[in-house]
Amino acid sequence: MAYTNFTVETDADGIALVTWDMPGKSMNVFTAEVLEELNALIDATVADKAIKGVVITSGKSSFSGGADLSMIKSLFSVYQDEKARNPATAAQKLFDLVGRMTGLFRKLETCGKPWVSAINGTCMGGALEMSLACHGRVASNAKSVKLALPEVKVGIFPGAGGTQRISRLADAQSALQMMTTGQSLTAARAKAMNLLHQVVEPDQLISAAKQMIKDGLKPVAPWDEKGFKVPGGGIWTPAAAQLWPAAPAILRRETSGNYPAALAILKCVYEGLQVPFDTGLKIEQRYFTQVLQTTEAYSMIRSLFISMQELGKGARRPAGQPKTELKKVGVVGAGFMGASIAYVTAAAGIAVTLIDRDIEAAGKGKAVAEGLVKESVGKGRITRDEGAALLACITPSADYADLSDADLVIEAVFEDRDVKKAVIEAVEAVLPAGAVFATNTSTLPITGLAKNSKRPTDFIGIHFFSPVEKMLLTEVILGKETGDRALAVALDYVAAIKKTPIVVNDTRGFFVNRCVLRYMSEAYDMLIEGVPPAMIENAAKMAGMPVGPLALNDEVAIDLSLKILKAAVADLGDKAVDVRHMQLVTRLVEDEGRFGRKNSKGFYDYPPKPGKKSLWPGLKDLYPQKKAEEIDVNVLKQRFLATIALEAARTMEEGIVTDPREADVGSILGFGFAPYTGGALSYIDAMGVKAFVELCETLAKAYGRQFKPTALLKDMAAKGETFYGRFDPYGVKTAA
């Protein structure tokens, strides 16, 4: 049989080398065709008596990223179609579908001939599950090798035998930690956990894998041999008696019960280790089928897997614009933000000229990049040579003329219109025709800044989030005159630095900051009402937010919050802000000198390391405190999620955000909006717009007009619409 995705070469020793190398793909992924070919390969190698064993490896720099988008989508579409036609058989059909990969890997495992997986790079999800079904596993010691079962991060869990094989190879605690966090393992760590047999030099990978077969590798998994014992003794041991009662409690502490897939992992391992392996696979299959039917799985996969990939691959890139290969980028403003932008640009291999008022200031900016390189080298993320090459891409300068050959210039100076105006004029005096100017403003409208430009069609906003090197999101903001070419160049740049972009139209605060400010404002309201500060923070975390609103405000800086409030009053009038919020923030900043983390005093106190931050005791004296038992925590949780979701809905109504994928991805990546919901709009869609409107009306009566549902939401509720239906990003009306 001829294979499209695999090649097979059998050597003189009768060892077949199967190389997975999908044409036209940068990374191997599982598709229906790949599974069919793998099934045929197993049959062919078993039937060929000349073949003594099989080594499977990758022809690409990575091994495999797991399942393809089309496979994930098909599971949901088949289930939804069947549910619409025949609800009684929908779950069974889904169960049969999810068992296909499980059955194939079990077939490989019991085929009677030894298979060795030779892992040369990233090996994730289903690819690691396939490797675990092989009788031998060898990995390269290259730093590019990462092994993980990250499915829990997108709302599902390892459902092709992963929960059963990992827990029979490694001790239960390590297995649970790996799967419930989705953490990546180095080859050395994976070997220490007994997931790999060998770790070798890259040039020895295939020979080592073949040698395992030559040395008589048994084509039988450990759990299929008589007398097999689970590492640590299994469930009914003194050690297990300490682990298992604590595991669900620890998981609940970390997730507040918001992630069904994480709990399912515990159930699969606990139940699976008490029965024969094949029964354990059935248990896993049943739980996987259940989890796939949850709102959380559907919403998380749509936003954090499908939409993120689509946006990262240019879903919003204007058609007909040639791709820009950026050779040189200018960054004006060598403060921490500008220096970090220069760092991520240089990390992409793009030459950067870092400009500031004098060479000393520009040099300090490069020193920030040097510190980031030192940290990365120290943590083994890059080599010293790679760090040196990165820094060689950054050239400090005080001369704007050095930008005369730049393809893109990013301004990252103070949030001051006059300062930015001077920079725009200085840059445009030397910038070549066709180059794009981007401002990194976080609050000032792009259209207003573009009035200082002589070529507003080439003027755009690229809003980074701090810390730039860690945050995955960027907002690309269109001014009223921004042209398609400027948008295309901005998106090409964001793709080059490996960030996920959302495209938004111009408004004060854009999308992310508008939502963040609502989150923090609701916390101000709660403080003023007398809700204990610890209860505010804990309720937000229980709702699924990674950081409480008071802690987040400290990170943003409370004095910056005061500047934003004052700017809103100056531009929009006294009614633009709640006077009580102004009084609270003014007191903290001007009376108490509490600016946030930056001066170690904010809503929290920050002692010298290794001390831990704690809520400032003085907070409870600002307003009369209610008793905790008088407050409904569930209502606090609803208020936090609803106020953010309402703001996201307003941006859709105003045309600031036009694609629901961007609102969802932006809300999760920008400030961590409860990931289990799939994002702010998915939260509304999952609840049902009618139910959300009713919730908002109830909250508005009790807590203020900020919860008043918008005209758009009322219209959608009356028509039974969803955001993904009304604003269908694919151009075809679909259900949520």
By annotation, the residues acting in catalysis are: 463
The H-or-E segment that residue 501 falls in is: strand 500-505
Burial of 78 (0-12, 13-18, 19+ CB in 10 A): middle
Task: Report the Cα 81 to chain-centroid distance in Å.
Answer: 29
How many of the other CB atoms lie within 10 Å of CB of 404? 15
| Identity of residue 30 | F
Strands (E), 304-418: 328-332, 351-355, 394-397, 408-411
Q: Tell me the one-letter amino acid at 376.
A: S
Question: Residue 262 and residue 267: Cα distance in Å, rounded?
Answer: 9
Whether the CB-CB separation of 526 and 549 falls below 8 Å is answered with no
Looking at the chain, the number of H-run helices and the number of E-run strands are 30, 18
Please state, in angstroms and rounded to a whole number, the distance separating the CA atoms of residues 456 and 454.
6
Instruction: Name the token pair of 527.
Output: 């403080």
Per DSSP (E only), the strands in 221-376 are 328-332, 351-355
At 146 the three-state DSSP class reads coil
**Residue in the block written with tokens 């049902």:** 688
Helix (H, G, I), strand (E, B) or coil at 68: coil
For tokens 């760590």, what's the residue? 189
CA distance 456 to 459: 5
Q: How far apart are CA 594 and CA 439, in angstroms?
A: 30
Do the beta carbons of residue 524 and residue 620 sit within 8 Å? no
For 571, the token pair is 């531009």
Length of the chain: 736
SS3 call for 221: coil
Neighbour-count burial of 519, counting CB atoms closer than 10 A to its CB (0-12 exposed, 13-18 middle, 19+ buried): buried
How far is it, in rounded angstroms, from Cα 639 to Cα 247? 30
Q: Degrees (nearest 5) of the Cα angle 608, 471, 676?
A: 100
CA distance 533 to 516: 18
Structure tokens, 717: 């509720």
Contacts 24+ apart (CB under 8 A), 260-263: 260/290, 260/291, 260/294, 260/296, 260/297, 261/151, 261/152, 261/155, 261/156, 261/157, 261/291, 261/296, 261/297, 262/152, 262/157, 262/180
DSSP 3-state assignment of 20? strand
Instruction: Look at the block and give the residue holding tokens 């069904």.
Output: 260
The sign of the dihedral angle between the CA atoms of 237, 239, 245, 247 is negative
